[in-house]
Structure 1
Amino acid sequence: MRARVTSLVLVLVAVLLVALVPRPSRAFGEEGAFNPRILLTGTARWEGARTTGPARWSEELTRRTSAPARLSPTTVRADAPALLAEPFAIWGGEDDVPPLTEREVLGIRRFLALGGVLLIDDFAPESGAFGKAARREIARVLPDGAPIPIGTENVVFRSFYLLRRAVGRVEGQPKLEAIMRGGVPQVIFAKHDLLGALARAANGTHPFVVVPNGEPQREQAARLAVNVAMFVLCSNYKDDQVHAPFLMRRRAAEPSP
């Protein structure tokens, strides 16, 4: 009898120990996690030096904040049902793109109608070919929407860091542009090559030079990426009890724009 009781106690202790072991953050795709997905259209493939950018985005978010993120972000096609499963996607490129198919137009329109946020990242803002094509196609998706400049007055510039301007691999224009819905950005246009600034090779080197301000500018680009992620994750940061302490410390430590 005593041996049986001892065995039962040991089992209970083992169960308690397992319960007390910290569990990893929720897997990507589950509620609350951030996934910087790459949106693919037409026959486009996700390849090249910028493919490391989304993972770096997630790393910076988890390192700097209390927010969970998927460290191996995924891609999603504009006409795939999976687009509707998560609230954020990045559509980036360097060159002109073929017109979206009707299924792609409908897929992106549904994604935005459900509250999704789309970041359009021009990898070659010096030429602007992709940015111009993306605007043309988004005008088909949202014919009644028009992008407007957004700056330091907007939540994207204040959601975690207090940023004075937008930057990426290139300095570009100080403001972003966005199509607004309900007073908040829903389609964000960046002429800065944000993923180019974030990209990092396995050996820790950066494949793209950041101009004109080098590594300090790369740091500011990482901060912009974190702000976008926090904007996506929370609609009102001042009311978010998890992130509020981080935000208050940031507001106290950094000068106002």
Structure 2
Amino acid sequence: MTHRWGRRRDFLQAAGLAIPALAMTSWPAWAIGTGVQVGFGQLKHAGNWDPRPEALRRLLWEIRKRTSIEVRRDATFVDMESDDIFQQPFLVLTGKGPMPEWSEKARQNVARHLRFGGFLYVDTPSPDDPFTSSVKREVEIIRKSLKGNQEFDSPTFQRVDPQHVLFKSFFLLKRVVGRHTQDTGVVGLDLDKRMVLAMTQNDLLGALERDRLGNWVYTCEPGGERQREMAIRFGVNLIMYATCLDYKSDQVHIPFILKKRRR
């Protein structure tokens, strides 16, 4: 039996994205690799699949500015029924309003993507938006399909502990905020002791949306620009978590964390 870590390593290395987290002992070492560009594969669905069309571009810009990771300029749009999904280790699903049921092919592709080492980030407008319930419906179907695979422990979809490594993969964070703060937690799907899906429900991408003139489209309530900054930081943490291997909660970026705590 091939362990999930081996599969994840194969997936990321095939895309040129794998970095051993514990080898990152200095700031310059956060580079993923010369000439390798990280990007997002944004999933298309039958609903309103792109309500924040500029947000991912902005997040990629922030990642480029704040880390030594080389990133693409734009997200790549991906049809869930296409094999192109397997060319994108980091998938993003967003929307607004109800999302029609996925096809069986789409569900199989997403489940296979997660099973073999991919990562999916889901951003919803709010806990009570119809898109959130649509996502939960599809994730539950996928979770049950993964549960039937005897190679892995039974997958769980539940709230993530605030001490999870996701909250300290680059920046030290206590919660997640977005355009608002209705729900400051993360709901995650764990598969074989690894989080393969993370969902936030506070319109994080809305906090990053700019117009063509470079102005922020939405205000962040109630925390203003500081809240927007925290949303950006969580976005950076996501990409660091998704593209690193073998994270151990107490050992992630130890020199950087100690430096931050001395301040």
- Same fold per TM (> 0.5)? yes
Q: Residue 67 of structure 1 is aligned with which of 62, 66, 69?
A: 69
Please, which runs of 5 or more residues in structure 1 have no aligned partner?
1-28
- Alignment match, 1:37: 41
Q: Structure 2: which amino acid aligns with 1:102? A: E
> 1:162–1:254: 8 Å Cα contact kept in structure 2?
no
Residue pair 1:179, 1:185 contacting (<8 A) in 2 also? yes
Identity between Structure 1 and Structure 2 (%):
26
Q: Which residue of 1 aligns with 2:227?
A: 217
Give 1:190 deviation, angstroms. Answer: 0.6
Cα deviation 1:119-164 (Å, max 9, x = unaligned): 11102x0533111111101111221343111133111101000001
Aligned to 1:80: 82
* Partner residue, 1:10: none
> Residue type of the partner of 2:170?
F
Q: Which residue of the partner structure matches residue 173 of structure 1?
A: 183
Amino acid at match of 2:130: A
Alignment correspondent of 2:24? none
Q: Deviations over 1:35-83 (max 9, x none)?
A: 122111236553x5x1111111111111101111111221101111110
Give the structure 1 partner of residue 260 of structure 2: 253
Equivalent-residue separation in structure 2 for 1:71 and 1:170 (angstroms): 26
Q: CA deviation at 1:185?
A: 1.3
Aligned pair partner of 1:104 in 90, 106, 131: 106
Question: What TM-score do the two structures reach when normalised by structure 1?
Answer: 0.78
- Structure 1 partner of 2:30: none
Contact 2:48 2:96 (8 Å CA) reproduced: no
Residues 1-257 of structure 1: pairs in structure 2 closer than 5 A: 31-32=16-17, 33-42=37-46, 46=50, 48=51, 50-123=52-125, 125=126, 127-143=128-144, 144=147, 145-236=155-246, 244=253, 248-254=255-261
Letter in 2 for 1:199: E
RMSD of Structure 2 on Structure 1 (CA): 2.3
**Structure number with higher relative contact order (C-alpha < 8 Å, ≥ 6 residues apart):** 2
Gaps of 5+ in 2: 1-13, 18-36, 148-154
Kept in 2, the 8 Å contact 1:152–1:158? The answer is no
Change (3 A) 1:167 1:216: same
- 8 A contact 1:58–1:69 mirrored in 2: yes
On the 8 A contact 2:49/2:95 being kept in 1, the answer is no
Cα–Cα, structure 1 residues 42 and 174, in superposed 2: closer, same or farther, change >3 Å?
A: closer
